[in-house]
Each structure stands twice: as structure tokens, then as C-alpha cells.
């Protein structure tokens, strides 16, 4: 246990694991964890790359929905995108895409801006590998209990 005022040290990345896969527990025993599982850093990066077209479409539909919604308000400027039927179709498509992201085990935490977390384990500490719209790579994480405000760059030795 740390004393009051002690600096918090970020875990080293010796083991980013995906449970569901066995993990070593105290005493060297293997155990399985519940849930959809955790990602290793290479797995999360691969999944992010696979999801890029889906994420790009989410961004496009997000913009379309804003424009369609504005056009449907009283006094709203007309749009070439259509009207209420097109907005409903865009909402349905957005829901499909969000479900597709969630089914991978990744967590879609935000849509504006787009924020995707990949559950992982960093030296026994539950973390979320964190990708924010505009990031070129999956290079950030935060402890699962701290949320986005605790976001840190992954150590150079990770992955």
C-alpha cells in the first residue's frame, strides 16, 4: 500500500493479456477471467485497423445526422441529405455500426469525438487501451478505475 503523498507509478507493460485465455494466478495456477476477454496490444491494434472503415462510417453518419436533425427543426435549413426517413435510416445504420464495434469486445465510449477502449491487463492492473478520434495509432491507456482523465501514453516497451 502506498503512503499518502506517494507518487503513483504506472505499471510496466510486460503482460498485456487477453482473458478468456488462461492467465497465471498466484501460485502459478492458470485461471480464466469472465467477460468477452482482454486484448493484447497487438490484438487491439489489429482490431482497430480492421475497424477503421466502420469507425470512418460512424463519423460520416454522425455528421449526416447532425445536418438532418438541424434541417428538421422549425426554421431549419433544407439539406440535400433528405428528411425524416433518411434520419431514421441513418440512426438505424449508426446503431448497427455501434453494435459491430461492441461485438469485437471493444468498448465504444463516445461518438463525438469517437472514443474506443480495448480492455487489457497491464502487469496485473486492469486497463483500457484507449483510441480517440484523430489518434494515428493505439498509443494510450488508462486504468479501468480512473477513466479517460487518467489517460497516459503507453510505455515504449509495450507491445
Per-residue pLDDT of the chain (159 residues; tens, 9 = 90+): 333 444 334 444 444 444 344 333 332 222 223 356 899 999 999 999 999 999 999 999 999 999 999 999 999 999 999 999 999 999 999 999 999 999 999 999 999 999 999 999 988 999 999 999 999 999 999 999 999 999 999 998 876
88: Cβ–Cβ under 8 A, 6 or more apart, which residues? none
Main-chain dihedrals φ then ψ at residue 34, nearest 5 degrees: -85, 175
DSSP code at position 80: T
Question: What integer pLDDT is reported at residue 100 of this predicted model?
Answer: 97
Cα separation, 73 vs 65, in Å, equals 12
C-alpha cell read off for 131: 483510441
Q: What is the pTM of this model?
A: 0.75
Q: What percent of the chain has pLDDT over 90?
A: 72
Cα 108 to its chain centre, rounded Å, is 5
pLDDT at residue number 31: 27
pLDDT the model gives residue 148? 94
Residues comprising the chain, all counted: 159
Give helix 41-72 / helix 84-102 axis angle, nearest 10°.
170
pLDDT at 6: 40
Nearest to 65 by CA among 37, 102, 38, 95: 95
Amino acid at each position: 500500500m502506498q503512503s499518502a503523498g506517494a507518487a503513483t507509478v504506472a505499471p510496466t507493460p510486460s503482460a498485456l493479456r487477453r482473458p478468456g485465455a488462461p492467465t497465471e494466478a498466484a501460485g502459478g495456477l492458470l485461471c480464466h477471467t469472465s467477460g468477452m476477454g482482454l486484448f493484447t496490444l497487438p490484438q487491439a491494434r489489429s482490431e482497430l485497423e480492421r475497424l477503421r472503415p466502420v469507425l470512418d462510417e460512424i463519423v460520416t453518419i454522425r455528421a449526416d445526422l447532425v445536418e438532418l436533425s438541424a434541417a428538421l427543426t422549425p426554421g431549419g435549413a433544407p439539406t440535400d441529405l433528405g428528411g425524416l426517413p433518411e434520419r431514421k435510416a441513418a440512426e438505424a445504420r449508426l446503431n448497427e455500426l455501434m453494435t459491430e464495434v461492441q461485438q469485437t469486445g471493444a468498448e465504444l465510449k463516445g461518438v463525438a469525438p469517437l472514443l474506443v477502449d480495448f480492455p487489457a491487463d497491464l502487469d496485473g492492473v486492469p486497463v483500457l487501451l484507449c483510441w480517440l478520434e484523430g489518434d494515428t495509432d493505439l498509443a494510450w491507456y488508462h486504468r479501468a478505475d480512473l477513466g479517460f482523465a487518467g489517460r497516459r501514453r503507453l510505455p515504449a516497451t509495450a507491445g
